[in-house]
Amino acid sequence: MHKKHICISLITLILVFNYSCHQQKSDYVILSGTIKNGNKTIELRSHYDTTDKTKRKIIHLDKNGDFQDTIYIQKEELYVVSDKTNMFEFHLTPSKKYIIEYDTKKFKNEGITLKGDDIDINEYYIDKTRGMVFYDFNESGKPEKEIRSFLNNVKEKQLNRLNISKLPSSLKEHEEASIKFEYLRYLSLYLRVNEINTPSIESKNELDIDYLNEEEYKKYQSYKYLLHDYYHDQLNQKAKVNQKLNSSYSLYQNGIKELALIIPNDYIKNDLIAHNASFFLLNSEDIESCYSDFKKYYTGNDTIIKSKILDSYYRYAKLKKGTPSPKFTNFKNNNGGENSLNDYKGAYVFIDIWATWCGNCYGEMPYLKKLEQEYKDVVFLSIAWKDDESKWRKIIKKESLTGVQLFATKEDNSFFEEYAVNGIPRYILIDPEGNIVDHNTPRPSDDKLKTLFKDVGID
């Protein structure tokens, strides 16, 4: 009897142990599939914060386009998958397996074949991505009423797609709020880009929301970016007032302090400071004072952010006027051969860092050509960064680009890292001795660039 009792107890213990092991969820997913006509890699990144490099994963494809990888995640979350031609949203939940198969050239018309877990969920997100409408408010020239109608139609289509989807109720609720915030964000963007300071009463009422909701800021990317736009507008308005009182006032120099003053919510304030601190440091005239403001007004505990901004401070401090410029060597020249920065010593060098995929770069091209005609003694050096060489050569021919046209391969990144190039177009002026005059000059379309040329004796 005693032996039976022991055996039963052991069997029960084993069963309970096995059950608990099966119940325990892993902290990863298995993502696999086949992508035809793709590049060598795909990128997976957080949908909520696309700038968070810790939530990025590069997945390598074999010669047939096949792949399989383990993605470590702590909770279910929405991601963005990019193959450099297409992008789509994809929802991942720990312990599950996902299989995707598609042709990059047929993605828009045929979509993706899904296998494995959560097919209904990800069919919704992929259909949503394929149905996205992109609109350039810069070139619209259309009245507010027409834009409101357009954005409302887009919103209603998205809500209808959501209503007939098979998403779980929790995700449906999240998506519904996200769609509405996205509508508000684009409405706000239209008003801001077109400098409409007195919008209609309808737009004004719709945008009269709480801009300090920490919970929604953490949950919805569209609400987060809406707040970023809102507080950037607040900064610009304060800058206009301050510049009337003091013509030397610089938003870049005072931006961190101003954010701290206008945002009473600590979490939102710290996140916006973290997102903008590197940019303010790069453009500030007194980097020491700007970094002191960061240390004073950023009250968060994120050591990664603090380390990142400290690194930016050290790098930017090396870019002071009069210090030797970082060097590059053996960049490909469109006319043949290779060139290094030292090849142009003895003349002022105006460097234009651009790429064929950079929309704003094209807008500066006509102004750059005029400068090249006006300032014959300046070497105008255009360097293509993170670009495709064949596209680069085609655009040079198509746009009849002049000046020296150089191409930097992905391996030639040290020059850009030392100059802290995070966005383009970016312009740099170097003196005949190879020293920095300005590591971040005004754009060719800005009259302040000619003032800078005049100040250093360039006629």
Give the strand order in the sheet containing 56-60.
Answer: 56-60, 41-46, 77-82, 87-92
Instruction: Evaluate whether 28-130 and 331-455 have a shared fold.
Output: no
Cis omega (within 30 of 0) on the bond before 425? yes
Question: How many whole angstroms separate alpha carbon 377 and alpha carbon 453?
Answer: 11
How is residue 446 written in tokens? 């800005």
- Cβ contact 380:371 at 8 Å: yes
- The full set of domain ranges for the chain reads 28-130, 137-209, 231-317, 331-455
Question: How many whole angstroms separate alpha carbon 268 and alpha carbon 259?
Answer: 10
pLDDT in tens, 94-151: 999 999 999 999 998 889 999 999 999 999 999 998 888 777 666 557 889 999 999 9
Question: Quick one: fold of 28-130?
Answer: Immunoglobulin-like (2.60.40)
Local structure of residue 341 (DSSP, 8 states)? G
Q: Which ranges of the chain have pLDDT less than 70?
A: 1-25, 49-55, 136-140
Q: What is the architecture, at CATH level 2, of domain 331-455?
A: 3-Layer(aba) Sandwich (3.40)
Q: From 310, 318, 276, select the one nearest 419 (Cα to Cα).
A: 318
Instruction: Give the model's pLDDT for residue 108.
Output: 87
Instruction: Give the model's pLDDT for residue 78.
Output: 92
Contacts of 395 (CB under 8 A, 6+ apart): 356, 401
How is residue 166 written in tokens? 């098979």
Q: Scanning the structure block, which residue is given the tokens 């300090």?
A: 212
Q: What sign does the dihedral 161-167-168-173 (CA atoms) show?
A: negative
Instruction: Give the model's pLDDT for residue 13.
Output: 44
Question: How many whole angstroms separate alpha carbon 309 and alpha carbon 292?
Answer: 11
Instruction: Give the model's pLDDT for residue 285.
Output: 86
Instruction: Give the model's pLDDT for residue 370.
Output: 95
What is the number of alpha carbons within 13 Å of residue 218 lying toward its C-beta?
7
Question: How many whole angstroms separate alpha carbon 339 and alpha carbon 379?
Answer: 13
- Cβ contact 425:350 at 8 Å: no
Q: From 424, 348, 344, select the one nearest 384 (Cα to Cα).
A: 424
